[in-house]
Structure 1
Amino acid sequence: MVLVTLDRPDRLNAITSTMITELEAVVAAVDRDPDVRAVILTGAGRGFCAGLDLSGGGTAPGAEGVPATVAGFMWQDHLATLHEKIHRSRKPWIAAVNGPCVGGGFAMALACDIRIAATSATFGAVFLKLGVSNCDMGTSYFLPRLVGASRAAELMLTARIFDAEEADRIGLVTDLVDDGTVIDRALVTAELIRLNPPFATWMTKETMWQTIDAPSLRHALDIENRTQIMCSGTGELDEARRAFVEKRPPSWRDD
């Protein structure tokens, strides 16, 4: 497992261009490392992430000297693409949410596969409070899929902050734990993931998210069928059968 900590506690881990670039490098690195089976994402200090650093988050790489509209679009794409990379990562990502998780930080947690919250956690899509759309950084894609369109509409149109108990009640988080224990709880989930075969875990994550967007049951079944045939060719199924007969835990491949 890998623990990734957003480390700007004096700014509630607000997002900057440097942070985005570094996180993109982390996604690429964990995807290449066969020893990494799951990633836990959390924030240093008293918060997960307060969103974009409004005091000056920087600019997108390569945006120097281009027209303002182009630079603005490059910056927007720079912000949003990180969350696509987390969502498309080969490894499951677990958000261990401590304290405020709003705006771009909320979108980052939504991009993770699993969210676990401390009782102090608060959430909110708050871009609207800044005079721009709450449809930003993947929020309008992820949130309706996680909590349903009607509830997502209320949260996005009011831009209100809601607490960890409500996040638990609406199914946004899988567990609600005492402050100071959220990483320990995330490690329990990560360990359960680690016990499963790596390639099949990757295919489970990828196929699940693809079938959520499937236009029909037939489309979803076709994707599932192809995935199962690929997984069956790794030899893990044979190992699982041998382990069952020999009454021992399976020994999975590392790649």
Structure 2
Amino acid sequence: MAADWKPQHFAWSVEGKVATVTLNRPERKNPLTLESYAELRDTFRRLAYAKDVKTVVVTGAGDNFCSGGDVHEIIGPLIGMQDAGDMDGLLRFTRMTGDLVKAMRLCPQPVVAAVDGICAGAGAIVAMASDLRLGTARSKTAFLFVRVGLAGADMGACNILPRIIGSGRAAELLYTGRAMDGEEAERWGFFNRLCAPEALLAEAQKTAAALADGPTFAHAMTKKCIHQEWSMDVEAAIEAEAQAQAICMQTKDFARAYYAFVNKQKPVFEGN
């Protein structure tokens, strides 16, 4: 049972069918470490087999989401690898961080990010890799890799971010590393909506719970199609969706919706 999992490098809770991941180093604005990267990756991979969790919320403790990779625990060791000419070690690190995004995309559960305060670097990537993003007006989201002399091409940003906010806007953020405040992020489509800071987590969990009460097999199929169809032409996408929908038509939830409509009732979905 996912409710029994005990991660060591972030907080984890399950209420009903909703799991909440809380990055919990608030004294340093919740930076990621090598260990938390790996444990987050492994957790999202395990979710593919978790029957008791139907949606996931990702948030940060305190007044911030995530400040990115820890300067002392990640950047310092990477400079050490550079000094040692350890290209293999650098590549192992960048592949490992990218694996977190792959795991978030491949897990069947919709992921809802609740973003307040600082959301920078790898934190912005985690928000980007989520399926839905709720923010606050005071949030600051920055893909600031260029500020440390790196490319904006990190953890799938050059592929995913343009699909969310458009290529021109993505290029501006990735070239400059500047921060978007919450209102701009909502206007550009990065945030689905803004919430008051004190209501943010509750709203994200409410959104996740509503999805968890829906036809979750069908939600997983929607998520799969959204990601897979990026590399398809329209004809291939239409055929893929025909096959996906025919599979969904074999579920009991499809029949439940029909019989509920006939009987003028609200359907109660069970995800099968």
Report the TM-score when normalising by structure 2. Answer: 0.86
State the distance in 2 between where 1:153 and 1:38 align: 31
What per-residue deviation string (whole Å, max 9, x for no partner) do you get for residues 21-79 of structure 1? 2212321333322221210000011211111111023979xx9xx97111111011111
**Where does 1:43-122 land on structure 2 (aligned, <5 Å)?**
43-57=60-74, 68-122=86-140
Q: Name the structure 1 match of 2:9.
A: none
In the TM superposition, residue 212 of structure 1 has moved relative to its aligned partner by 3.2
Q: Name the structure 1 match of 2:248.
A: 231
* Structure 1 counterpart of 2:88, one-letter code: V
What per-residue deviation string (whole Å, max 9, x for no partner) do you get for residues 147-172 of structure 1? 00011111111111121111011111
In the TM superposition, residue 107 of structure 1 has moved relative to its aligned partner by 0.8
Q: Is the 8 A contact 1:34 1:254 kept in 2?
A: no
State the distance in 1 between where 2:24 and 2:246 align: 42
> After the TM superposition, which parts of structure 1 deviate over 4 Å for at least 4 consecutive aligned residues?
none
State the distance in 2 between where 1:28 and 1:126 align: 27
State the distance in 2 between where 1:68 and 1:201 align: 42
* Structure 1 counterpart of 2:226, one-letter code: M
Q: Name the structure 2 match of 1:221.
A: 238
SS state at 1:57 partner: helix
What is the number of equivalent residue pairs in this alignment? 250
1:41 maps to which of 32, 39, 58 = 58
Q: Is the 8 A contact 1:51 1:106 kept in 2?
A: yes
Tell me how large the CA RMSD over aligned residues is: 2.0
- Structure 2 gaps of 5+ residues are 1-17
* Structure 1 counterpart of 2:225, one-letter code: T
**Where does 1:87-166 land on structure 2 (aligned, <5 Å)?**
87-166=105-184
Q: Is the 8 A contact 2:33 2:74 kept in 1?
A: yes
- Structure 1 gaps of 5+ residues are none
State the distance in 1 between where 2:254 and 2:197 align: 40
Report the TM-score when normalising by structure 1. Answer: 0.92
The percentage of aligned residue pairs carrying the same residue is 31
